[in-house]
Structure 1
Amino acid sequence: MALGVCKAWRAVIDAHRLLRVDLLPFSLGGIFINFNGQVFSEYFFEPSTTPTISLMSNYVPHSTRSGRRNVESHCNGLLLLSGNYVVNPATRWWAQFPTPLRPESSNKFSYRNYLVFDPILSPHYEVFSVPYISYHGLTEESEWPPSSCTLQVFSSSTGGWEDRLFVRDGEDAEMVSDMFLRSAVYYRRALYVRYYTPNIVLRISLLDGKYRAIKPPSDTQINEILSLGKSKDGVYLASVGSEILRIWVLVESCGQTEWLPKYRADLKWKLREKLRSSWVLQDVNYYNEYNGLAIDKEEAEMEARAENDHGPFLFLGFHPFEEVVFLSRSLRWGVAYHLTSSKLQYLGYQYPTGYNYFIAQCEDITDAFPYTPCSM
């Protein structure tokens, strides 16, 4: 299928000499998954249709057993790893950026970094350091988001951090005593960041220097776990509770934002329609961290496979180009739910070798990132 590129995009591409459209991130490669307590993020993919990427542990600097290299953010083929590393797994390119200097007034905040990379517009990337309020940060309620906020932004084009002022647009802020950051997506020159308590999404516009707090869908509960992502029609939210999957899409028009219900499915009834695939886990932690320890890999895998796979679903992410969501079943099985056909597809076994031997009762998936390779 031919890809059409509008004249404005062609002009931008030509201006930046980004003529190799075939190298841009237009396909899904796999999913990077952070298992609690693991040193490296695991890569879950389909080897028959997706080129195998090199283990990042082979070329990204790390200190064995102490220096974690988990994926913290993904944007159009680039990964941001813990330790201030930006990596392109498709080309084995990596770079490290410095930690910003914080003003004394920022001591009451914690920070999380998010990556912004748009190869259509520029070969350079930016890292946004976004503040949040932790339990130890405040003893009293505070206005959030404030009327204006200065964010620290690292640019690869200058090699340094700069302060950028953003002004609140839209409704007034709420009074909160704690706010925790979770996932973020970049879409149409804006960074959408999801806070966990309360469930709001902060839309940070890179075009006009404004940001807006977007309230959750009206039919959600206060403590409902919502997952933010990007897919075929833009910015999405998902909720997987009691095996009920609900999907909303964000509609933005004339300065107004609204979450519209898009899909709802009872997953437990879909298990009768299992389709099988052959995705595999790269198992980087076993070969880098556990190998050589007192563990029988075959025996450990057989025990883990024999365990009950009828536990809860965890949300892994949205397919970036198709109406598909990715789920984890009991941490053991990767699952794809096709929204338009209502088919549930078991992708493959995704449980890391030896994980239950060394993590005991702390097994969990803390983050997951659908990955779109970029060969630039």
Structure 2
Amino acid sequence: MATGSMETALMSDPTAKLPDDILVEIISRVPYKSTRCCKCVSTRWRDLIAHPDHREKLPQLTLAGFFYKIYDLKRRPPDSHGYLSVSGNWCPIDASLSFLPKCEKIDLLDCCNGLLLCRCSKPYPEEPDYLVCNPATEKWVTFPANEWSSESYARLGFDPAVSSHFYVFELVPAVALNWNLKYEYNIEEVGIYSSKAGGWTHQIEWDDPIEIRNFSGGTFLSGVLYLCSYNNLVAAIDVEGNCRFIPVPTLNDARCGPYIYASRGQLYVANYGAAEVSIWVLEDSCSEDYWTLKHNASYLQLFGSSSKEYYGVISAHPEDDVLFITVETTLPGCPYLPYVPLFSESLADGH
């Protein structure tokens, strides 16, 4: 770096001259909420706070709870949302989202790094809007959906350490009735909305539609949205509209498709079969992607019982080696969206 550039950097960031250990000591003395904001200052601050050597000294990402959908035909509307806290009352939020603008119906779609993605329905014939909000600060922003949005799935991409802007990936299904008279929702098109551009920037059409698992959700990591399918593939779509497919490890007795999640900056896949669950991590190399087995455990080891019940991974902790598993008998599953509060006030163009 030239001398002039170095002087400019030091003037704009007085902490640039501080050694890492001194800066970590300073950050360790601020409240947890402020630590979360510190991660957004620069890549250096973010990496220091997330570094394994500093875990004991610095407050880390804390999973506050789960947003989830409620399906009840006796209710009006029959689908709504709930919130389950897993960390006490350290982070009180308005889980009912009453601070949002009034609309006919709010459909909770996704959660990513502290932001929620919702669809706001309007009286016919008006088209729905998308809404992105921060429950911790009660800030929100809306933008118009496409004409096919009411028939689409959508996923949110957001990384506060990189930008206050977000992306919405809209998945357009081609609905077909298969040979055993069950509907298949194969995704044939993906639209990408950028809050920075203020509009829909990319549109991807797949020659061979792929069936994306609705309840598995999506995982946004390093500018890429990962979606799990029933075809033993993970679809990786970046914010520029580029797409590739990654084969995933499989079990011979797999109960259903794998579950993908991000933890400590890496992508993991959980496969659950008739008697065991296995955890794999995606290793990134220059030539190809490959999976490494990290954990393997039987349900008997985990729960002290056989596989009479249906065990399924619903979520994972973003920073700890913790999986959340449900035991299902007759009730259908539903999406569980892990919520980690974001206390930064910045939400691009938010109210």
Q: TM-score range by the shorter chain?
A: 0.5 to 0.7
2:94 is equivalent to residue 96 of structure 1: no
2:227 is equivalent to residue 193 of structure 1: yes
Q: Could you say which residue in structure 1 is the equivalent of 2:91? A: 51
Of 247, 253, 263 in structure 1, the residue corresponding to residue 285 of structure 2 is 253
Task: Specify whether residues 328 and 261 from structure 1 end up closer, same or farther in structure 2 by C-alpha distance, changes over 3 A only.
Answer: same
In 2: Cα distance, 1:155 partner to 1:271 partner: 44
Task: Specify whether residues 238 and 253 from structure 1 end up closer, same or farther in structure 2 by C-alpha distance, changes over 3 A only.
Answer: same
Q: Could you say which residue in structure 2 is the equivalent of 1:206? A: 239
In 2: Cα distance, 1:154 partner to 1:248 partner: 31
Task: Specify whether residues 219 and 316 from structure 1 end up closer, same or farther in structure 2 by C-alpha distance, changes over 3 A only.
Answer: closer
In structure 2, the gaps of 5 or more residues are 1-23, 29-34, 48-58, 73-77, 121-129, 179-185, 345-351
In structure 1, the gaps of 5 or more residues are 14-23, 138-143, 274-309, 332-360
Residue 222 of structure 1: how far off its partner (Å): 7.5
Superposition TM-score, scaled by structure 2 size? 0.65
Residue 76 of structure 1: how far off its partner (Å): 0.8
Q: Could you say which residue in structure 2 is the equivalent of 1:270? A: 302
Residue 82 of structure 1: how far off its partner (Å): 3.3
2:33 is equivalent to residue 35 of structure 1: no
Higher relative CO (Cα under 8 Å, sequence separation at least 6) belongs to: 1
Q: Secondary structure at the match of 2:62?
A: coil
Q: Could you say which residue in structure 2 is the equivalent of 1:73? A: 110
Contact 1:78 1:88 in 2 (8 A): yes
Residues 124-179 of structure 1, C-alpha deviation per residue, up to 9 Å, x if partnerless? Answer: 21212133443259xxxxxx999xx7x4222223432233569x9xxxx8x66x62
Residue 79 of structure 1: how far off its partner (Å): 0.9
Q: Could you say which residue in structure 2 is the equivalent of 1:162? A: 201
Task: Specify whether residues 92 and 237 from structure 1 end up closer, same or farther in structure 2 by C-alpha distance, changes over 3 A only.
Answer: same
2:267 is equivalent to residue 232 of structure 1: no
Contact 1:185 1:228 in 2 (8 A): yes
Task: Specify whether residues 35 and 244 from structure 1 end up closer, same or farther in structure 2 by C-alpha distance, changes over 3 A only.
Answer: farther
Q: Could you say which residue in structure 1 is the equivalent of 2:16? A: none
Residue 375 of structure 1: how far off its partner (Å): 1.2
- Paired residue type of 2:232: N
Residue 263 of structure 1: how far off its partner (Å): 1.0
Q: Secondary structure at the match of 1:235?
A: strand
Contact 2:284 2:290 in 1 (8 A): yes
Task: Specify whether residues 46 and 11 from structure 1 end up closer, same or farther in structure 2 by C-alpha distance, changes over 3 A only.
Answer: closer
Task: Specify whether residues 247 and 10 from structure 1 end up closer, same or farther in structure 2 by C-alpha distance, changes over 3 A only.
Answer: closer
Q: Could you say which residue in structure 1 is the equivalent of 2:315? A: 317
Contact 1:233 1:249 in 2 (8 A): no
Residues 29-69 of structure 1, C-alpha deviation per residue, up to 9 Å, x if partnerless? Answer: 11122233353322111353632211334223466xx72x3
- Paired residue type of 1:79: L
Contact 2:173 2:187 in 1 (8 A): no
Contact 1:36 1:365 in 2 (8 A): no
In 1: Cα distance, 2:99 partner to 2:275 partner: 40
Residue 115 of structure 1: how far off its partner (Å): 0.8
Residue 187 of structure 1: how far off its partner (Å): 0.8
Contact 1:76 1:117 in 2 (8 A): yes
Residue 371 of structure 1: how far off its partner (Å): 1.0
Q: Could you say which residue in structure 1 is the equivalent of 2:176? A: 135
Q: Percent of counterpart pairs with the same letter?
A: 24
Task: Specify whether residues 326 and 78 from structure 1 end up closer, same or farther in structure 2 by C-alpha distance, changes over 3 A only.
Answer: same
- Paired residue type of 2:333: I
Residues 58-89 of structure 1, C-alpha deviation per residue, up to 9 Å, x if partnerless? Answer: 223466xx72x343211110011233221211
Contact 2:63 2:340 in 1 (8 A): yes
